[in-house]
Amino acid sequence: MIERSLSVLVSLLLTLSATAQTDSLTPVVEATYRAGLPNFFHKIQSGQTSKVAYLGGSITRADQGWRDQTVSWLKDQYPHAKFEQIMAAIGGTGSDFGAYRLRQHVLQHKPDLVFVEFAVNDHGKTAQQVKASMEGIVRQIWKADRHTDICFVYTFQKVQLPFYQNKTFPVSTSAMETIADQYQIPSICLALPAIQLIEAGKMVIQGKASEQPDKIVFSGDGVHPYVETGHKLYAETVERHLLRMEPNSKVQKHPLPKSLISDNLQNVALLTVDKLEKSKGWHLVDSVVTGKPYASLMPPVYASADTADYITISFRGNTLGLVDVIGPGTGQIVVRVDNDPPRYINRFDEYCTYYRMSYTLISGLSDGKHTASIRVSPTKLDKASILAKRNNKITSPQLYEKQAFYIGAFLVRE
């Protein structure tokens, strides 16, 4: 009897746990307009110049993708108005980094509308983490100008498909919807029309168009859409819902309610290295920046491969981040915060066959003042084994010999 009662109790607890997890996910809808984009459409209807910012990851960064396609559509749809695009998307980055870099990459340009796209790159983070960074983004934008309109857009990747098939948003998107509700920000699920075509058997999420002549192929990797298919569908979805929001064009000042997450990323900043104490061995470099997609968004880069060189930073709060360039010639760094044991952080990964802008966060520190010192680690990474995780091979050994550190900025709380 006791064993049976225990079995029933365990089953009940599992059921309650599953229910709680299901309840935390938001039902899928293609769009929720909430307060709309009134100030943006007022400017359009008045024939003024509108600045449209795109804050996101690689899906938004893609040239000729949904970002460029929507800007072209706006110019064709409203020939009497003018539009300027603010490109603020960086591949492989999430909403946390978006919050830290928002001031330099978006707000200094005084945007009229900000599209925010991080549903894919925030996958794997907790709902609380996503809420904290997304709320920080919203509050920063409206702290700068309460007339700036915001629109959340939700892309997707293959691993998120089961959520949509269960008619719920993934964890990251569900968390974003909570912030959208709190601040009455419109949201558009770019993913849903594609998923509906996939479920109907008319589209495949991953493949080569030449191998699927009777179907639409969304992407080559299950994440990044093809320009002529997935991106086109994304852009058409945005355009359709923009038209439906257009009638709401009365100028208004967006209200700024009490924070939902007390520890949100509102008071954060990107601090460039040129303002910090550092040894004389650091030197400015542009070889890993010039001509790269992130060139306009990367602060001046300082480099060293000498383990004796250091950079020192004093900061407040429980998190320290850094912005750097990683690639074939980068290695490991060692970070010492106060009297804590040293932290060894690899700035080389299985994708490092080319140089890209990146970031990392050191969290879990105690609240208060801290001092950190950063150096190149004496440890030499086995780059061949790291690259092998993605079946990449070193074909030009000289490109991988260096174990340097290319640092541009730190991420701190103000």
User: Quick check: 1 pLDDT over 60?
Assistant: no
Same domain, 330 and 202: no
Same domain, 146 and 66: yes
Same domain, 213 and 302: no
Cβ atoms within 10 Å, residue 304: 21
Question: The tokens 């946390």 sit on which residue?
Answer: 96
Q: DSSP secondary structure string, 386-406?
A: HHGGGT---S-HHHH---BEE
The reply to whether 287 falls in a domain is yes
The reply to whether 362 falls in a domain is yes
Same domain, 281 and 136: no
Q: How many helices (H) and strands (E) does the chain have?
A: 12, 18
Note the pLDDT tens digit of each residue in 263-279.
999 999 999 998 899 99
Pick from 133, 152, 172: nearest CA to 264: 133
Same domain, 347 and 315: yes
pLDDT tier, 10 (very low <50, low <70, confident <90, very high otherwise)? very low
- CATH code for the domain of 227: 3.40.50.1110
Same domain, 273 and 375: yes
Rg of the chain (C-alpha set): 23
The reply to whether 263 falls in a domain is no
- Between CA 287 and CA 285 the distance in angstroms is 6
Note the pLDDT tens digit of each residue in 117-162.
999 999 999 999 999 999 999 999 999 999 999 999 999 999 999 9
**Predicted TM-score (pTM) of this structure:** 0.90
The percentage of residues in the chain with a pLDDT greater than 70, rounded to a whole number, is 94
- CATH code for the domain of 393: 2.60.120.260
pLDDT on residue 112:
98
pLDDT tier, 209 (very low <50, low <70, confident <90, very high otherwise)? confident
- Between CA 56 and CA 75 the distance in angstroms is 22
Same domain, 280 and 401: yes
49, with CB counted inside 10 A (0-12, 13-18, 19+), is exposed
Residue 325 structural domain = 268-413
Same domain, 383 and 298: yes
User: Quick check: 364 pLDDT over 60?
Assistant: yes
**Amino acid of residue 258:** K
The reply to whether 260 falls in a domain is no
Same domain, 405 and 285: yes
At 345, which helix (H) or strand (E)?
strand 343-346
pLDDT on residue 11:
36
- Integer angstrom CA distances of residue 202 from 14, 212, 215, 401: 37, 10, 5, 48
Contact of 282 with 408, CB cutoff 8 Å = no
The reply to whether 259 falls in a domain is no
Last residue of a domain, one of 230, 245, 260: 245
User: Quick check: 8 pLDDT over 70?
Assistant: no
Pick from 177, 175, 113, 95: nearest CA to 150: 113
Same domain, 237 and 322: no
Note the pLDDT tens digit of each residue in 174-206.
999 999 999 999 999 999 999 999 999 999 999
Same domain, 224 and 318: no
At 164, which helix (H) or strand (E)?
helix 161-165
pLDDT on residue 212:
86
User: Quick check: 378 pLDDT over 50?
Assistant: yes
Note the pLDDT tens digit of each residue in 68-103.
999 999 999 999 999 999 999 999 999 999 999 999
Number of domains in the chain: 2
User: Quick check: 9 pLDDT over 60?
Assistant: no
Same domain, 313 and 175: no
pLDDT on residue 200:
96
The reply to whether 251 falls in a domain is no
pLDDT tier, 4 (very low <50, low <70, confident <90, very high otherwise)? very low
Pairing status of strand 405-413 against strand 268-272: antiparallel
Inter-residue long-range contacts of 288-292, CB under 8 Å, 24+ positions, other chains counted? 288/325, 288/327, 288/329, 288/355, 288/406, 289/325, 292/355, 292/356, 292/357
pLDDT tier, 22 (very low <50, low <70, confident <90, very high otherwise)? very low
User: Quick check: 5 pLDDT over 50?
Assistant: no
The reply to whether 5 falls in a domain is no
Average pLDDT over every residue of 404-414:
95
Say which residues have a Cβ less than 8 Å from residue 191's Cβ, sequence separation at least 6: 119, 154, 155, 156, 160, 164
The reply to whether 15 falls in a domain is no
Question: How high does pLDDT run on average in the chain?
Answer: 93
Contact of 59 with 65, CB cutoff 8 Å = yes
pLDDT on residue 414:
81
Contact of 409 with 272, CB cutoff 8 Å = yes
pLDDT on residue 275:
81
